[in-house]
Amino acid sequence: MKRTNEKGAALILALILVLILSVMAVSLMFLSQTETWSSLNYRLMSQARYAAESGVSKAANYLIYTYTPPGTAGDPITVYIAAAAPVSVDGYPATITVGGKPVVLSASYSQSSNYPVASVQIGFNDAGQGTLTVGNSSMNYAAYATLLSMRQVTVYGTPTPATIQTWLITSDGSINGVRDAQVEVSAILERQATPTFNYAAFAVSDGCSALAFGGGGTTDSYDSSTVKNGTVSTQPYGGNVGTNGNFTEGGAKTTINGTLSTPRTGVGSCSTSNITAMTSNQGTVTGGLVELPQPKDYPTPTIPPPGTTDLSLSKNWKCPTGIGAIPGCTSSGGNIYLPPGAYANIDMTGQANLHVSAGTYNINSFQEQSAQSGLIIDSGPVIFNVTGNNVSGAVVDLTGNSVQNPSLDPGNFQILYAGSGTIKLAGNSQASGLVYAPNATFSFTGGSNWYGAVIGKLITDLGGAAIHYDRRLLNEYFTLGNYMLDSFTWKKY
């Protein structure tokens, strides 16, 4: 018997299938559109972040290369107040304020600038904002910088203090189009004061044999605060050395009781096309190699001009009188007491002993090559600022009886030289001092002792001299380190 109630069932099933397929098609289209928008959002967010990072970089470049920190007549540091209680800025404590508010330089509409020098406000505003073009879109960035901390330090080798700061740089990056995107990036720009003399010897040159030890030359360390009546105790560690180039070491008894620091890598033969960290022939570096992240930069010291009076000192030399008299100068039996001042070329011969006292000696050159002569430090600090103009030999030659600094405090005798001449040193049981000549060539002669530290372009110790590093130097003299950008954070809106 024929069933009439099943008529039209196929049509109903077909409509149901069409409905299901339609829903599936719509779902696939929606999913595809969602993926497209998600991809677009990610691309726009990335572009906005790149724009914000560009703002951070532009602001940092302005602060590093164009901006002059406070400390001049037009921007006195006394305007800025060290807050008794730090002010919180985006989670970071700001200790410097103007009018009770954190100091801000701004190129952003979201943050006003209150820096007390109008020209600096304008300069930062011009540098801290801009537009980048990507395809048919424009990416905008605008940055502002908040001063978190500030202090002044005396940079070794310069006559005036330097101001170092820490800034929090915040930059907004945005892109406008079919869909908008906005990202904020923050970073800390800081510069630290670092010890000037943190190595027994550092050679600034980046070539082969920039630093060379041999013949039993050694390094170690001591603490000058423990020296009593000329008695010193050294320790077989802390005699670190460094160079921007290669260290060459030879001889079984040649020992660096410390580390070797250099941006170079590898141990082996050195050539201009392959500058290794170390070339060793039986020598020893007890602390191993430390790879520096970048070459160390030692600024050239500022040297005042020398005097015009040449002094040729001998046992029978008498202090000049009349027009050429030197106030405070006395001499008797070969002992010459020369006050601080400006002189030209000082040459010691025979059995002369030159006594110097605390103060600054601006000289052109210094020669002391006689074993019967000596440079005696009666009180310190004694600072020799050496010019070295038109000197045929070494600008400083202490290869006679050298310097006698009984305290063994190297800060009591300092040699600063800006030129590229030669300095020759010999030591003895009381030879102690600091030599800062980042462009000069050094040589140590004789198996003697030098208590302190030296910085030069090229340094050789091939005669078995021992350099004893004073560990107190880590806390006494400073130079400025490189700028660093760190503590990156970001967020999107």
Candidate from 30-44, 173-187, 466-480 with smallest mean pLDDT: 30-44
Long-range Cβ contact pairs of 415-420 (< 8 A, separation 24 or more): 415/384, 415/386, 416/157, 416/301, 416/303, 416/383, 416/384, 416/385, 416/386, 417/301, 417/303, 417/386, 417/388, 418/300, 418/301, 418/302, 418/303, 418/387, 419/386, 419/387, 419/388, 419/395, 420/457
**Contact status, residue 77 vs residue 83, Cβ threshold 8 Å:** no
Predicted local confidence at residue 445, as pLDDT: 83
- Residue 63 has what DSSP assignment? I
Residue 2 has pLDDT above 60, yes or no: no
Both structure tokens of 233 = 């105790």
| One-letter amino acid of 488 | F
Predicted local confidence at residue 23, as pLDDT: 76
Predicted local confidence at residue 182, as pLDDT: 86
Q: Is residue 283 helix, strand or coil?
A: coil
Identify the sign of the CA torsion 12, 18, 22, 23: positive
Where along the chain do its domains lie? Answer: 44-195+481-492, 201-476
Predicted local confidence at residue 38, as pLDDT: 57
Predicted local confidence at residue 107, as pLDDT: 94
**Contact status, residue 340 vs residue 357, Cβ threshold 8 Å:** yes
The pLDDT-based confidence of 392 (bands split at 50, 70, 90) is confident
The pLDDT-based confidence of 169 (bands split at 50, 70, 90) is very high
What percentage of residues in the chain have a pLDDT greater than 70? 95
Residue 25 has pLDDT above 80, yes or no: no
Q: Please state, rounded to an integer, the average pLDDT across all residues of the chain.
A: 88
pTM over cut 0.85: no
Both structure tokens of 450 = 């030098």
Residue 253 has pLDDT above 80, yes or no: yes
